A and B are shown apart, each in its own frame.
Chain A
Amino acid sequence: MKRRNFLQMTGASATLATAGLLPALASDRGASESLIYDTERLQWVPYSKRRAYRYFKQKGQLPKEFIRQVVPFKTAEAPGTIIIDGNKHFLYLVQDNFTAMRYGIGVGREGFGWAGIVRIGRTAEWPRWTPPAEMVARDPLAAKWAGGMPGGPENPLGARALYLYEGGRDTIYRIHGTTEPWSIGLNISSGCIRLTNDDVTDLYSRAKVGAKVIMLLQGAALLTGV
């Protein structure tokens, strides 16, 4: 799919990709592609928004798969490359010796996912968040920050942001932190890739501006002209 088509398809909704307030109001639809083992009922159940929240609240941490860890990762991609597996909710930062640092992520919910090859155009600490006009028009909470929300613990972009560019242009998608750490592992955002604030801070310290980012997501619209 060409870029133009992609933009037409996602339309105004794609401009909400700054995530944050919108995901908090989003429904559970499309968020249940993962299953989690319920140790009380002894069965696999959908890893829904409600269940993810309960898991995090009860255990005080994410499921072990989504906790940052070094994993074997054999690839021809250069160290420093970021590879995002949207289906499995993992972000890999390629390292030396066929390994990668793996982080748990939250990705775009149904209709908001994308795939493509982009690069990190710039990065920011405690980034400012400016809601798009469409969100301001319909959401009183967002309207409050029409002029931009300063960075800080309440800011939906969290502690750090890596801005994704394609061909020198801002894609409007970002890899960023979150005020909702329990949402890692869900399809919940408007297209951005979210990590916990601790993880995005770690990634920020390792990733370089200009680094290649490969986004894999089954069935998603293509962002780039591949």
Chain B
Amino acid sequence: MTEYRVTKTVFTSLLSIIAASVLAACTTTGSSGPKPTVKQAVETAPADLQLACSSEVATRFPNSGNVLPLSSNLLGADVFRVRITSQAGSYVCDINRGGVIVSLLPAAQSTDQLAVDEKAIEKATDGPVKPKEVKFF
């Protein structure tokens, strides 16, 4: 009889633990729950940041004609690199998530400099990227 009670107690305890585990698995607290439903496999720059770069090209190089962002990618945690084409040539623009243009250079004359900048920005990923040039917004 005693053995039966012990077995029953153990069984009841196990059931409680299993039930608690199941409930815990079903419960999601604020930050751990799945919030977004869709995300992109490749993170391109938001459209407004891409256009901020093309707008800056048009401002700095008035004879550039039609200006269009061609591609972009995340460079470090906070900065996007946007490649821009225009009727006058190509440009590379680095802009942070806050809309601050970190650098803007004609692509043809900037290959070496861009490589240096890229390494510097990647290195600075742990800390905030400090704006060096134009504040667009």
Contacts and interface: CB of A to CB of B under 8 A. Distances in A.
A47 B50 CA distance: 25
B40 interface: yes
A89 B52 CA distance: 19
A66 interface: yes
Interface residues of B, number: 29
B42 A87 contact: yes
B39 A74 contact: no
Interface string A76-115: 1100000101011010100000000000000000000001
Contact of A35 (B38, B44, B87): B38
Contact of B51 (A35, A64, A83, A226): A83
Interface of A: 32-37, 39, 42, 44, 46-47, 63-66, 73-77, 83, 85, 87-88, 90, 92, 115-117, 185, 214, 216, 218-219, 222, 224-226
A34 B37 contact: no
Of all A-B residue pairs in the complex, the 4 with the closest CB atoms, nearest first, are: A63-B37, A226-B66, A85-B47, A76-B55
Q: Binding site of B, secondary structure by majority: helix, strand, loop or mixed? A: mixed
A218 to B, nearest CB: 5
Contact of B68 (A37, A117, A219): A117
Interface stretch (B10-18, B69-77, B123-131): B69-77
Contact of B40 (A34, A75, A77, A83): A34
Interface string B109-137: 00000000000000000000000000001
B40 A87 contact: yes
